[in-house]
Structure 1
Amino acid sequence: MLAMTLSRRALLAFAALSLVAGPVAAQEIKPVDTSRLVTVGGAVTEIVFALGYGDKVIARDITSFYPDEVNRLPSIGYMRALSPEGVLSVNPSAILLIQGSGPKETIDVLSKASVPLAFIPEGYDRNALVAKIKAVGKALGADTKADELAAKVAADVDSAVTDASKIEEAKRKRVLFVMTVQNGKIMAAGEHTAAHGIIALAGGINATSDFHGYKPLNDEAVINAKPDVILLMDTGGQTVSEADILANPAVALTPAGQAKKVIRLGGSALLFGPRTGDAIRKVYEKLYGG
């Protein structure tokens, strides 16, 4: 079993959230045997529990750590480094996986096994969130419950973005999301990431939207991003401290660095699951003072 701290798991969960386009997104989802479920992907696991099927989950991946009772379940590893032996060893009746789970070799082996797989499409906006919830519901044979949850979550997101949508373009804050700092280089979020999606919904502008996924930035790229705010993920282990990020020479030359404007948000809330509305509100309040 893979032992890992909460901060490390949260970091891996968030790092995994860059949209991966592929054929699995287009596969038809059919109802599966829910007696012994394995869930892969933090949002997928959270949705399964929100739909009332948490007692059917026998194992999950390490990016799944909400709600708290999930942490009492065995882990089958990291969603992008799964082994077929580890997954099949818990004798699942079905496996629900977020799009982008892998590696491909493992998915190929699992696809040939007798255990049904349900690939749940990933995405980082309101409509993608609704589609994700409904896809999980389809796999569980719980369409009605999923429709109700999707409507509730969508309404919550709509309510959360009300104030943010009124902010004039010229007044929107430029936000640099910092995942980690390694060897002095900032790992930042581009487009097709959960960070980008939350920043946009909260009325901000992703200062590094000229690339996809997460990538390290050189000093010139950090300075040219001209962020008004630095957004850090609070993983419980304080992966990047405010003092460390402000001490970065490139950050010090940005508007955010000069104003010492750094905010922190809990990473587990940024998985584009049922709590997305709350995450939007928190980011908006931190950006614009509520």
Structure 2
Amino acid sequence: MRGLILLLAALLLAGCGGVATSAGDNGETSSALALSGPASARLADEDVHPVVTDPSPSLPVTVRSFDGADVRVSSVDRIVAVDLYGTLGEIVFSLGLGDRVVGRDPSTGFPSAVHVPVVTSGGHDLNAEAILDLDPTVVLTDTSIGPPEVQQQLREAGIPVVFFDPARTLAGVPSHIRAVAAALGVRDAGEKLVSGVDGEIRLARALAPHGTPPRLTFLYVRGSAGVYLMSGPGSGADAMIEAVGAVDVGTDIGLDKPFVPITSEGLLNARPDVILVLSEGLASVGGVDGLLRIPGMAQTPAGRSRRVVDVADTDLLSFGPRVGRTITALAKVLYEG
């Protein structure tokens, strides 16, 4: 996850926000929580299931890339889909074009995609040679991954490269799907996928109980790299936390950027009821016991009750077609125990 670490470092430099001094709650843990200790939020079905089989793309198409370029796509026979979170690959497979994907990123890790060659090196850096060797007819990407010189090199080689909006919000999921479907000439499949995903999100949101919402914080930790961050508004985790009817601690205490370094003062003042982490991150610090050794962690309501929920690295921040399933898995862990 070197690429994600670099992205988070950039976000840290993008402002001067910090942790506020009070949580703004009454100090009581939400009675809605059924969670009583550590848990893993796992999708009941990790794989992607296409909304159509053997779609017939209507090509050629010319689309406006997110970087402002007009890109003509004449063939989708050999697709490379690469971004930091695996979102684009997930959308392509869900549209029924997975058998045409010849290159992917490491985060596109669901079962149907594991046979596809990875085209990054050194974590999440694009490998121009690996991509060119695949002779792609179109490359789908965004600015979450780079270096940008590689994407430009691909364009100079005559390959259509389409950029997409890298923002990570629930509201943006339908437009993201539609943009990818348009670039691949399968707009009807895109509308069908949007309808299904919208329905799953609505059902998932309905699982949140009424009453005092629990307070959740997402912590991005990588023990081997010495990275310990608390999330705030715009991280993507804030949208997932809100979707399960909880309060995003980082937003509530007044953070003004997506990630800030964890401090004991910040944790104690934030008083999270539940700590949310990525599975690989939790393992990197030695599990729950290691996480609770971070100064201030064990003294929070979450730490005292060991309420730590880990979510697969490829699921929580993807905001792809499986997002409704991820919300459902998290809600069930929190409220059904």
Per the normalisation by structure 1, the TM-score is 0.83
User: How far apart, in 1, do the equivalents of 2:99 and 2:226 lie?
Assistant: 44
CA drift of 1:237 comes to: 8.1
Q: Alpha carbons of 1:285 and 1:49: their partners in 2 closer, same or farther (altered >3 Å)?
A: same
Cα-Cα RMSD: 2.9
Q: Tell me what 1:36 maps to.
A: 78
5 Å matches for 1:92-103? 92-103=136-147
Q: Alpha carbons of 1:145 and 1:268: their partners in 2 closer, same or farther (altered >3 Å)?
A: same
Q: Which amino acid aligns with 1:245?
A: L
1:153-199: per-residue Cα shift (whole Å, max 9, x none)?
A: 011101211232x634xx11111212215487632322222322211
Q: Which amino acid aligns with 2:313?
A: G
1:235-289: per-residue Cα shift (whole Å, max 9, x none)?
A: 4983341111123331112121122221222232221111111111122222233
1:128-170: per-residue Cα shift (whole Å, max 9, x none)?
A: 1111111111111000001000111011101211232x634xx
1:23-61: per-residue Cα shift (whole Å, max 9, x none)?
A: 936656654410111110311101111111111111112
User: How far apart, in 1, do the equivalents of 2:189 and 2:227 lie?
Assistant: 45
User: How far apart, in 1, do the equivalents of 2:213 and 2:96 lie?
Assistant: 39
**Contact 1:29 1:138 (8 Å CA) reproduced:** no
Q: Alpha carbons of 1:61 and 1:184: their partners in 2 closer, same or farther (altered >3 Å)?
A: closer
5 Å matches for 1:28-67? 31-41=73-83, 42-66=86-110
Aligned pairs, number: 274
Q: Does 1:134 align with 2:178?
A: yes
Out of 108-117 and 152-161, give the one that drifted further: 108-117
**Contact 1:30 1:138 (8 Å CA) reproduced:** no
SS at match of 1:232: strand
Q: Does 1:276 align with 2:318?
A: no
SS at match of 2:99: helix
Find 1:196's aligned residue among 234, 238, 262: 238
Q: Tell me what 2:217 maps to.
A: 176
Find 1:70's aligned residue among 113, 129, 135: 113
Greater CA radius of gyration, 1 or 2? 2
Q: Alpha carbons of 1:15 and 1:113: their partners in 2 closer, same or farther (altered >3 Å)?
A: same
Out of 116-125 and 53-62, give the one that drifted further: 116-125
Per the normalisation by structure 2, the TM-score is 0.72
Q: Does 1:265 align with 2:311?
A: yes
1:51-74: per-residue Cα shift (whole Å, max 9, x none)?
A: 1111111111222212x1322121
Q: Alpha carbons of 1:272 and 1:259: their partners in 2 closer, same or farther (altered >3 Å)?
A: same
Find 1:239's aligned residue among 267, 284, 291: 284
Q: Which amino acid aligns with 2:81?
A: T
1:4-25: per-residue Cα shift (whole Å, max 9, x none)?
A: xxxxxxx5687688799xx936
Q: From the two aligned structures, give the one with the greater helix fraction.
A: 1
User: How far apart, in 1, do the equivalents of 2:336 and 2:217 lie?
Assistant: 18
User: How far apart, in 2, do the equivalents of 1:73 and 1:282 lie?
Assistant: 27
Q: Alpha carbons of 1:65 and 1:276: their partners in 2 closer, same or farther (altered >3 Å)?
A: same
Q: Alpha carbons of 1:157 and 1:45: their partners in 2 closer, same or farther (altered >3 Å)?
A: same
User: How far apart, in 1, do the equivalents of 2:114 and 2:234 lie?
Assistant: 28
Out of 207-216 and 49-58, give the one that drifted further: 207-216
**Contact 1:24 1:99 (8 Å CA) reproduced:** no
Higher relative contact order (CA 8 A, sep 6+): 2
**Contact 1:134 1:147 (8 Å CA) reproduced:** yes
Q: Tell me what 2:270 maps to.
A: 225
SS at match of 1:176: strand
Q: What fraction of aligned residue pairs are identical, expressed as a percent?
A: 27
SS at match of 1:249: coil
**Contact 1:97 1:117 (8 Å CA) reproduced:** yes
1:62-115: per-residue Cα shift (whole Å, max 9, x none)?
A: 22212x132212111068521333322221111011342222222332232300
Structure 1 unmatched ranges of 5 or more:
1-10
Q: Alpha carbons of 1:12 and 1:201: their partners in 2 closer, same or farther (altered >3 Å)?
A: farther
Q: Tell me what 1:5 maps to.
A: none
Q: Alpha carbons of 1:100 and 1:32: their partners in 2 closer, same or farther (altered >3 Å)?
A: farther
Q: Tell me what 2:130 maps to.
A: 86
Q: Does 1:255 align with 2:278?
A: no
